[in-house]
Structure 1
Amino acid sequence: MTSWKLTLPCTRDEAEAIDFEGAELLGIDPAPVLLTSETVPDDPLAWQLEAYFEAKPGKEEIAAVRALVPSAVKAKEVIEQIPDEDWVTLSQQGIAPVHAGRFYIHTSTNRGDVPPGARTFQIEASRAFGTGTHETTAGCLRTLDAMRVRGERVDNLIDIGTGTGLLAFAAMHLWPRAYATASDIDPVSVEVTAENAGINGVTLGVMQGQLALAAAAGLEHPLLIGRAPYDLVIANVLAGPLIELAPSISAVLAEGGTLILAGLLETQAERVAGAYRRHGLRLAGKTPMGDWPTLRLRKRTRYGWDRTTRPGPDGQGLAPGFGSW
């Protein structure tokens, strides 16, 4: 038995926008398995899309895959025959385990030697982003670990754009009694997060120490709004969405709370931080990771009669009807 692999170049934006179960592939039976990856580290224009087929793809199949990555319109596709039983392993051989702070991230094929005392997470490179191999995810893990080392307390956290769920899992390990929420605009990412939660012993639910999940664009979901305010918000997406979400993310962050932002280049850091300064946040720290810094911001505390809060999962606030977000 053999399988076939079709490879096309793409950009990071295209890779992150791919609907792995979208209409473009509905006419192909069985549907191909899609994987995306960097070809040049830290270059958002140098990614690739790999589509795995049970039979050699024809013109219609090639056209359907091409439709997912418009930047490859003039690129010549690469089609190769591979052993059927080996393609998943082959696709993950180039992924090395990641050791960031107290966390050690690996796939099922590259566990390697776990550092003493490390908290391990098994995250496969599959249908969603956030395996820990990119600087943005590793930077968030180090930032979270440093917060815990400083003794910071977190009672209610949310991971927006969760991808694989990794950052939510890590935060829950650091603050095991916190209420935790994870969301993503892509329902497939929410499914992947639920699968990874089972693999890594994370309990799903809405109580303390459990992870609540929602598929939502930004914070447009009753669950996400109803569980605010959050004293820790993690958002590892891209600079454009981070700027666009600044008003709503700032609104659901509790006064004195911490916001961790990633997915932005060093050249975009000031513009992203500036969007949040306009909503009462200040830059409290930066974790450099090559060209991909992780920003840590704090929301200023207001005092006086006009202070307004919103209910969290542990009780009522001063003005439970405030805001629409």
Structure 2
Amino acid sequence: MASADTTWKLTAPAAKPIVQAALLAHDRIDDWDYELVIAGREVAEDKPDDWVLEGWFPRKPGKTEKAALAGLFEGVSEAGAPEITVEELPPQNWVTLSQHNVEPIRAGRFHIHTPEHPADREAIDFIIPASQAFGTGQHRTTAGCLEMLDAMKARGVIARNIADIGTGTGLLGFAALALWPRAHCTLTDIDPVCVPVVEENAAMNGVSMGPKPGEAVMVVAEGMDDPLIQVRGPYDLLIANILAGPLVQFAPAFAKAVTPGGSMLLAGLLAGDQEAAVRRAMLRAGFRLAARLQRGDWAILWLRRRQNWARLR
């Protein structure tokens, strides 16, 4: 019998453009089973065109889960869905396994490392253990966001009220507080498992949790749909490193939550069609592009809300 902590992984190998198209198809599905978490990646650095679409499920996947993954390839691959393999992972969290012995990263002035590695006293240093939540700094989107935050600070951005939507480990919110130490900070995530993770990481890195300036408040919520998120706004810096689909969906809510002239940092979207869709949605919502980074296949966008803007009807 499988352990309660066992995770099952589904793997579908395909060429890079096919996997990316399947990810776009996933973003357009409104009733996707949130327990089936998917991601795409290259097989190896020396094989940039060979990718896999992976899915993780808390129980042994059946025909429904396999069909859902296979369905993402309909219309994007002439050969149809690739063969999907299923494997049972050990009774440990798959993020912990993937982060084992991971090397520290440097992104702008930030140095991110696990407890097994020494701190860098010349950098803004954060300890982020491998954990049950995303946002350890190793993914190119998270590292790119750290770089962009550093660039925003260097270009004179002032942030007094910060929101980190889909915070995961809390890292990006913590990083923003390190750059703007007197700001209020609201951290949100849809997954309740992030609450103890964020609290543990905050204690480990000397970040105070609370409602005062220089402190962070944690909220479990989907997007902006929470009274506390709304009452603590509007925000002059909103960070959202999530997925392209939710970014498009939340664009009108983000516009209401960001002050005129305020900044928004978006990531979790692939350069190309996903980026174009997000930028169109944000333009309609009243944001303009201030700067862009690309790290691998991932785009990181800094947008600013227009000072005087009324949507054309």
Normalising to structure 1: TM-score of the pair?
A: 0.72
Q: Which residue pairs with 1:275 in the alignment?
A: 281
Distance of 1:183 and 1:88 partners within structure 2: 20
Relative to structure 1, the CA distance from residue 136 to residue 273 in structure 2 (aligned partners, 3 Å threshold; closer, same or farther) is same
1:125 positional shift: 2.4
2:69 is aligned, of 71, 82, 103, to 71
Picking from 265, 289, 295, the partner of 2:295 is: 289
5 Å matches for 1:239-278?
A: 239-267=244-272, 268-278=274-284
* Equivalent in 196, 201, 217 of residue 191 of structure 1: 196
- Are the equivalent residues in 1 in contact too, given 2:113–2:119 (CA < 8 A)? no
Q: Are the structure 2 counterparts of residues 255 and 7 from structure 1 closer, same or farther at C-alpha, using a change threshold of 3 Å?
A: closer
Partner residue, 2:105: 98
Quote the residue 1:9 is aligned against.
11
Report the CA distance shift for 1:253/1:199 in structure 2 as closer, same or farther (over 3 A): same
User: Paired residue for 1:179?
Assistant: 184
The letter for the 1-side match of 2:69 is S
- Write the letter of the residue equivalent to 1:287: L
SS in 1 for 2:298: coil
| 3-state SS, counterpart of residue 288 of structure 1 | strand
Give 2:234's match in structure 1, choosing from 229, 233, 242: 229
Q: Give matches, 1:1-325, under 5 Å.
A: 8-9=10-11, 19=35, 40=43, 45-47=52-54, 49=56, 62=60, 71=69, 75-78=84-87, 91-93=98-100, 95-109=102-116, 111=117, 114-267=119-272, 268-302=274-308
Equivalent residue of 1:148, what SS?
Answer: helix
Q: Deviations over 1:213-243 (max 9, x none)?
A: 1001111111100011100000000000000
- Residues in 2 aligned to 1:273 and 1:264: alpha-carbon distance in whole angstroms: 11
> C-alpha displacement at 1:117, in angstroms?
1.1
1:40 offset after TM fit, Å? 3.1
Query: Which residue of structure 2 lines up, in the alignment, with residue 54 of structure 1?
Result: none
Larger-Rg structure: 1
Contact kept, 8 Å, 1:158 with 1:230, in 2: the verdict is yes
Q: Percent of counterpart pairs with the same letter?
A: 43
Question: Per-residue deviation at 1:284?
Answer: 0.8
Where 2:146 maps in the other structure, the secondary structure is helix
The residue type equivalent to 1:262 in the other structure is: A
Partner in structure 1 of residue 15 of structure 2: none
Q: Contact between 2:7 and 2:56, CA under 8 Å: does it hold in 1?
A: no
Structure 1 residues 272 and 92: alpha-carbon distance in aligned structure 2, compared to 1, 3 A threshold:
closer
Q: Deviations over 1:111-130 (max 9, x none)?
A: 2x654511221212221111
Give the Å deviation of 1:8: 4.3
- The one-letter amino acid of 1:47's match is E
Q: Give deviations 1:223-274, integer Å, cap 9, x for gaps.
A: 1000111000000000000000000011110011001010001112122111
Go from structure 1 to structure 2 and tell me whether the alpha carbon gap of 1:276 and 1:79 turns closer, same or farther (over 3 Å shift).
closer
Provide the rounded CA distance (Å) in 1 between the counterparts of 2:262 and 2:96.
42
Equivalent residue for 1:309? none
Secondary structure of the equivalent of 1:214? strand
The normalised TM-score by structure 2 is 0.74
Unpaired runs of 5+ residues, structure 1, are 21-33, 52-60, 307-325
Name stretches of at least 5 consecutive residues in structure 2 with no aligned partner.
Answer: 13-18, 72-82
Higher strand share: 2
Q: Residue type matched to 1:92 in 2?
A: Q
d(CA) in 2 for partners of 1:68, 1:124: 32
